[in-house]
Chain A
Amino acid sequence: MLTEFSHVFAFVILAIIFIAGGLVTSKLLRPKNPNKLKLASYECGEDAIGGSWVKFNIRYYVVALIFILFDVEILFLFPWALVFKPMGWLAVAEMFTFIGILVVGYIYVWAKGDLDWARPKPFVARLQDVVQVNTLKVTVGSEELESVG
């Protein structure tokens, strides 16, 4: 018995057949003459330097996430601008509430320092910061050595 969701399943099967069929057919038909230059990574005709597995700074993630947040906000502003006139002051109040919530988030991000690219090094507590350090004076012969104990 076909339920509504089985149509989705049919689409999934069709999509797999369609893509796999294209890939297999082209695999069978295409000429295959690989050589060292052809298999090299494309770098506009230059010799590629280094691998393509480059590490990206993790800070891109935070910035991208914040960007998407405000991008979506702009997205919501467009339909709002269309219904702005018939809805009147209610629309203004609604949108300002919405933006207000986002502004709070913006201020939070700003205060946390996530918008600064060059952030100060995080404070890592060392033993000396936690434990009270006593300075012992040890005398060896005539010389006075300072040691931490």
Chain B
Amino acid sequence: MVESREIEAGLGVAVLAAAGFQWLLRLVYRFGGPVHVWESDAKRLRDCGLGTDRVERFMRARESVDLERTRARLEETGSWFIPYGSDLLPPLVRELHFAPGGLFVAGRRTLYEEMRLAPRAVVVGTRRASAYAHAVTSRIVVPLIARGAVIVSGMAMGVDTFAHKSALDHGGLTIAVLGCGTDVVYPARNRSLRHRILEDGLLVSEFPPGTRPAKWTFPLRNRIMAAFSHAVVVVEAGVQSGALITVEHALELGRAVFAVPGSILCEGSRGVNGLIHQGATPIVDTDAFVEEFLCATRNEMNGGGVARPAAVVRAPDSPGREEASSVAGNLVLQALCREPRTIDEVARHTGLEVPEVTQAIGVLELRGLALPLGPGRYAAM
């Protein structure tokens, strides 16, 4: 049972950190919890090397902060707060040197329980995703989901969005770690995605409800994402990408980092290829990757087991196991397995006529065995 002191201190730190006292977060880990930060006197803070007027301002702000209002707001938005000291938090959150006062969560509580016990993979990447990145994201997410993993990402445009959507589309559980309050819609385009995640997933943020996104909130968000993960998968990233920040945090926390190799000609793949150069595990084969990931998690979770062993609602099987019902369907599926292809290309590779290929793809698509990717291209699931 978490003491109310703990909750109050956690909330207080979270609210003030979002209001400009970010330096508080540096003390949380150092003092061993928000309670000690929140309740510390001026002398102790000054001893840490903080300037007098900083301390003064904090003291004043602490007096005036209205935690009741924050609580009411939480109630209103249907989210709840898990303070720093709670066992419910993933343990790594407490390991962060820049630890949060606690986390705000929106979504169904039962899902949170489920998520806590499941292996979690962070799938992140550029906002300017190529068709290739989209193809790869779903190919990575779907087998992970099928093995009971939870997909964590940041709900940004591009790879993040696609990771969430593929997870939801295949009956999986997904967590969006936000750079704003859990009740704020950002980016606006993802309004409907946000609704879907509220239904079948969780929104997590260290920022209290009502916090608008800002330039500085996203790098902070990335460290929470890393703390939620058992491994990080970078799909596509340029040299400036925020995904690289997530990787840095993950490495600090001792997480495995996987990277999807990209073209060396593409500016947008330079960051991710750089990761591989520095020693990240390249994903060469999705099946092998999933095994590797689960292996890494199992060690981590001390044989705690996978909570949702393939308890997936609509997970389509990989094409190796699933047979299309017709000869043409099988040929097409084989051709699509190698890489996403256009109908014309499939026709050329299989020797079938264009209408035959189109017909086969129509059936495969409805059975969830093939999916359209970018203009006129298809991939096998």
The answer to whether A and B belong to the same complex is: no
Residues of A within 8 A of B (CB): none
Residues of B within 8 A of A (CB): none
